[in-house]
Chains A and B, each alone.
Chain A
């Protein structure tokens, strides 16, 4: 009689459980950021994106020397709101550079399988990638915003030194989150939809720029502030103006900020749904 054992071939469930470690996304984020910080282009982009901070600080310094200049360039909430709004182009470039390939490259090369062959869940993977982009985008929005606040406060203590002005910190954080979170979601969704980083990056630009241009046209055709809801950028700016308590710009004058925020929230949640459904370890060949 042969000694070869014939085993049953049906699926057997392993009745054992190994507790997963906490914060499993951290190594993904850490390694991703390490790889990005090794890129000269990434560091260069951060350096360029920080130039406006110094320009603004010079502006604040100028107003301390010539107080009458504050009538033209006031040092108040608008300064910080405008600053963050002007960081949007750098945030877009950073998204294309740092975010476009985050998932697309893994999907194309089968790297996702490597991740999921470790004790990681799909959510850990997505969260790790979100963290990479969140940090990258914060490097050109939130962090320079806060540095600008600290710099301006020390340069112009008579204007920004009071306790009441500390409220600017949560405002800067809130507006930065409004900028960074939907952008992070959109870039990662694009990265999950395209298998090529270049197409993901450009797809993101198409949506961002396309929606802004469409809004400009719709506004000029209808003169309706609600056209702002078409544009991601206009919605972001409208929410930002509301956070800083500023008068809305002409094209979104009558647009309720809650609506703009709802559009951004829906966009972010839709992107998460796309990520959840698109990011799979197995490619289905039709």
Chain B
């Protein structure tokens, strides 16, 4: 793996307030979700990652250089920040072109790249209009365009889907996935879980300035075997199945829902449970099985539970 973003025991505090506490992780190519509730430290982490802040302790490296004070890395880094700030009197095209000129592109090249990026975010019709007159979703997309336009290797996206309509959310989610598949590193910060699930399974869970978990969502979940997992089963003979399952040593609880006839099981060792269900499925007519809490919401709720 090639690490492009490296945090080593990085901490950051603002006066007496600790925003990030002893954070260590490495990011290579692909899309990564930075997940946490408001105030968890996501924005501080992103600001450290893209060199806007110095770590109070530890180190933060971007493309092999210290993130703070290494402007040269921004040839290959793009940032879509969470602030709704623009050069309001510029048109969309002027805005993206002007920022590309700062990357060293000449005028013609900058306009070409800017137009392509604006097309990517589906804003071509409005690119000659002043940003001051854009809607919230359009402003978000033009901000994304400036981050993408110079085709960076590393992209930091802070709440990139805010204010977008469902169609554009889908478009931008697909774009993020594609960028990850192309081998770019994309770190997407959000507190809306289902948005992230559509883009990646690789997440960094952060809460109160600490990274709670890092890795594939399923892997994280497997690490939490001590935490019972909820499974819902639909079977022809639910009562018979319940009589067998109740004998399993790692079963925490088992309920039969009167209204639906479904079995709700809480288990500690999923592999053993699934094997046993497999064996019993023909006998009791197991028709369907869902792991009900293998989504970000439940993992996150569990991890931050006090």
Contact = CB atoms under 8 A, between A and B. Distances in A.
Indicate yes or no for A touching B, C-beta below 8 A: yes
Interface of A: 285-286
Contacts of A286: 133
Interface of A is mostly: loop
A21 to B, nearest CB: 35
A286 B132 CA distance: 9
A217 B149 CA distance: 55
B97 to A, nearest CB: 22
Contacts of A285: 132-133
Nearest to A285: B133
Interface in B129-172: 132-133
Interface in B86-140: 132-133
Interface residues of B, number: 2
A14 B133 CA distance: 32
Nearest to A286: B133
The 3 closest A-B pairs by CB, nearest first: A285-B133, A285-B132, A286-B133
B138 to A, nearest CB: 12
3 contacts: A285-B132, A285-B133, A286-B133
Contacts of B132: 285
B139 to A, nearest CB: 12
A285 B89 CA distance: 11
Nearest to A283: B132
A182 B147 CA distance: 49
B213 to A, nearest CB: 37
A286 B133 CA distance: 7
Nearest to B133: A285
A124 B133 CA distance: 30
A248 to B, nearest CB: 48
A209 B132 CA distance: 33
Nearest to B132: A285
A109 to B, nearest CB: 11
A285 B133 CA distance: 6
Nearest to B88: A285
A195 to B, nearest CB: 10
A92 B246 CA distance: 82
A2 to B, nearest CB: 24
A110 to B, nearest CB: 11
Contacts of B133: 285-286
B153 to A, nearest CB: 36
A274 B132 CA distance: 24
B134 to A, nearest CB: 9
A256 to B, nearest CB: 47
A285 B134 CA distance: 9
A46 B161 CA distance: 48
A111 B48 CA distance: 31
A107 to B, nearest CB: 14
A76 B285 CA distance: 107
A129 B250 CA distance: 67
A286 B130 CA distance: 9
Interface string B155-194: 0000000000000000000000000000000000000000
